[in-house]
A and B are shown apart, each in its own frame.
Chain A
Amino acid sequence: MIATPDLATVATGFERPIFAAQSTFRALLNAFARPGTVEEVCADLDAPHGLDDAMAAIALTLLDRDASIWLSPSLRTQAIESFIRFHTGALQVRDPRDASFAFIGNGDAAPLLGSFAMGTDDAPERSTTLYVSVTSLDSAKTWTAHGPGIDGSIRLGVSRANDPSFSATFLAQWMVNHHRFPAGVDLVFTKGRALCGLPRSTRITAA
């Protein structure tokens, strides 16, 4: 049961909603257009405790009553759930396959990519977009990415404090996802205000 928002304590969200939503959307658009580059959310906002500013801003920008969101266990707090419920009205689901958005907190191991909605060949947009909180977006750059929007190749590396094997296990799953094209999930790494996009069209190899 989603907690009834306590209006006295729910985080207030965007300072200037229209401009903030536009700039956040632009940052996300650029992140997907230039995979592997790091974009910043610049909007003034009051985010709930435990949620990256970038994730909170994305929630306020993209979620509405027609959207469904899967929150990882460490994000299912009163503060975060009531923030999403009050500001967006989005449906909070328990089955990842029902979700059009997924927020994975830094305190949780990332679920298998295959457990989310993949979309279909004629409706590839119906897949889940994952937002994965990481501890670092510029740690040892152990990955090389190629593909649409990348000039040649780009090095990147992420680390997750509570998920030390993430970097290794993610690659295999990502390539399986990539081969599902046009279906498959898209993914954004977030850390604080920073975000880094990986559309399903991007290929990643180790080193």
Chain B
Amino acid sequence: MYVPVKGGEEAILNSARLLEEQRRGDPAIPELTIEQIESQLRFAVDRVMTEGALYDRTLAALAIKQASGDLVEAIFLVRAYRTTLPRFGGTLPLATPAMRIARRISATFKDLPGGQILGASHDYTQRLLDFSLLQPHAVAPAPEAAATGTPAPVVTALLGDEGLIESAGTADPSLQPPDLTRDPLEFPASRSLRLQNLARGDEGFLLALGYSTQRGYGSNHPFAAEIRHGTVVIEMVPDELGFAVAIGEITVTECQMVSQFQGSRDEPPRFTRGYGLAFGHSERKAMSMALVDRSLRATELGESVDAPAQSEEFVLMHSDNVEASGFVQHLKLPHYVDFQAELELVRRMHRERNADATASKATSHALQDHAAQESLA
């Protein structure tokens, strides 16, 4: 009989102290500052904000420091903190067409109004480890170009002007988007709810699913019509004023994918959309989200649902890494009684099996003896 370990509380307290010591590491090495994380690990901060569903670079950096770089753990910290925050209201939809652009590219049109702005990206690097970074060194400022002020309309709007693409959705201002942090997720889920789920979803999971759609598991032949990253203004309408006021700015990355066109006898074929949006500079996430968004519209667009990325329940129930991590890691909690029951069952089955074996051995010996006697006789 296995007995539960005693002295748990002391062990846990000591574990916390050891964790804190290890988090700090060697005291001779300078302590990591929040400013360093915010400014020099910006993609980690972006991911923690996006999947933590809370836009605050300092809090995300703090979570990363506290979690010693375990980003899923940091996301958990941010999510927990989010639940304590009171809500003052909802903002107006982000006006991404009016974004102050840092990077804007299109894979569908070479020349487009507002131009292709490469911005800072890993895309053009050779992916060779840069050993000069082993030592700190000064970085020369990059060249600057004057802002052109040329408007950069969203590419899909250009297609829309020609009637070649389905509309982006309803502009009915009375409709409130659902909130899956307030009401339980029920199926079938509206596209708004799916997009909320995907925006908070684990980047790795969505990347894999997006990749699967490209490899033929429910294929869409997608094109990246536009990816834009930059700063957008947040506006809300306070009750007392009755008009919109700007309350701040955030940086986001938006991806518009266009896919295989649909059509019917009554409707001309049009390109269909996939949409992705993430906090900070998160192209891989925004693109993956757009691929999966489009994939999950299979039923709505009359496509057969065969692939995992098309299954609403499969995707939406497993996209949240806080939930996933919780359930997977809960296996570390004591399951002593459950296991004891299993152990007893397996032991009993062994005993029964051995008893049968002994019995059948005895029977076969008896038969052999009998046969031997018969043959002697």
Chain A residues engaging chain B, CB cutoff 8 angstroms: 4-5, 7, 64-66, 85, 89
Shortest B129–chain A CB gap in Å is 50
Shortest A165–chain B CB gap in Å is 40
Across the two chains, which residue of chain B brings its CB closest to A6?
A: B240
Cα–Cα, bound, A65→B181 (Å): 13
Across the two chains, which residue of chain A brings its CB closest to B90?
A: A65
Is B89 located at the chain interface by the 8 A CB criterion? yes
Across the two chains, which residue of chain A brings its CB closest to B242?
A: A4
Cα–Cα, bound, A66→B183 (Å): 10
Cβ-neighbour of A64 out of B87, B239, B240 (below 8 A): B87
Contact B240 A66 (CB under 8 A): no
Contact A89 B89 (CB under 8 A): yes
Shortest A159–chain B CB gap in Å is 38
Contacts of B240 in A (CB 8 A): 4-5, 7
Across the two chains, which residue of chain B brings its CB closest to A85?
A: B239
9 chain-A/chain-B pairs, Cβ below 8 angstroms: A4-B239, A4-B240, A7-B240, A64-B86, A64-B87, A65-B87, A85-B239, A89-B87, A89-B89
Shortest B362–chain A CB gap in Å is 58
Shortest A67–chain B CB gap in Å is 11
Contact B182 A66 (CB under 8 A): yes
Shortest A145–chain B CB gap in Å is 34
Shortest A64–chain B CB gap in Å is 7
Cα–Cα, bound, A5→B239 (Å): 9
Chain B residues engaging chain A, CB cutoff 8 angstroms: 86-89, 182, 239-240
Contacts of B88 in A (CB 8 A): 89
Cα–Cα, bound, A25→B108 (Å): 58
Shortest B237–chain A CB gap in Å is 13
Shortest A84–chain B CB gap in Å is 12
Q: Which 6 residue pairs are nearest across A and B when measured between Cβ atoms?
A: A4-B240, A65-B87, A66-B182, A4-B239, A85-B239, A5-B240
Contacts of B239 in A (CB 8 A): 4-5, 85
Cα–Cα, bound, A66→B86 (Å): 11
Cα–Cα, bound, A100→B324 (Å): 32
Interface centre among A7, A64, A89 (most CB of B within 10 A): A89
Cα–Cα, bound, A89→B239 (Å): 10
Across the two chains, which residue of chain B brings its CB closest to A123?
A: B184
Contacts of A4 in B (CB 8 A): 239-240
Cα–Cα, bound, A21→B240 (Å): 26
Contacts of A85 in B (CB 8 A): 239
Interface centre among B88, B89, B239 (most CB of A within 10 A): B239
Cα–Cα, bound, A64→B239 (Å): 15
Shortest B180–chain A CB gap in Å is 13
Cα–Cα, bound, A85→B239 (Å): 9
Across the two chains, which residue of chain B brings its CB closest to A4?
A: B240
Shortest A1–chain B CB gap in Å is 11
Contacts of A65 in B (CB 8 A): 87, 89
Contacts of B89 in A (CB 8 A): 65, 89
Cα–Cα, bound, A38→B41 (Å): 57
Cα–Cα, bound, A7→B241 (Å): 13
Across the two chains, which residue of chain B brings its CB closest to A2?
A: B239
Cα–Cα, bound, A34→B351 (Å): 54
Cα–Cα, bound, A205→B182 (Å): 39
Cα–Cα, bound, A5→B86 (Å): 20
Across the two chains, which residue of chain A brings its CB closest to B88?
A: A89
Shortest A114–chain B CB gap in Å is 26
Across the two chains, which residue of chain A brings its CB closest to B182?
A: A66
Given A4-B240, A5-B239, A66-B182, 5 other A-B residues pairs in contact with their CB atoms under 8 A: A4-B239, A5-B240, A64-B86, A64-B87, A65-B87
Contacts of B182 in A (CB 8 A): 66
Cα–Cα, bound, A65→B86 (Å): 9
Cα–Cα, bound, A41→B22 (Å): 47
Across the two chains, which residue of chain A brings its CB closest to B240?
A: A4
Shortest A83–chain B CB gap in Å is 14
Cα–Cα, bound, A17→B36 (Å): 36
Contacts of A89 in B (CB 8 A): 87-89
Shortest B209–chain A CB gap in Å is 31
Shortest B238–chain A CB gap in Å is 10
Across the two chains, which residue of chain A brings its CB closest to B87?
A: A65
Shortest A152–chain B CB gap in Å is 37
Cα–Cα, bound, A66→B87 (Å): 10
Across the two chains, which residue of chain B brings its CB closest to A66?
A: B182
Cα–Cα, bound, A133→B241 (Å): 34
Across the two chains, which residue of chain B brings its CB closest to A5?
A: B240
Contacts of A66 in B (CB 8 A): 182
Contacts of B87 in A (CB 8 A): 64-65, 89
Shortest A205–chain B CB gap in Å is 38
Shortest B177–chain A CB gap in Å is 14
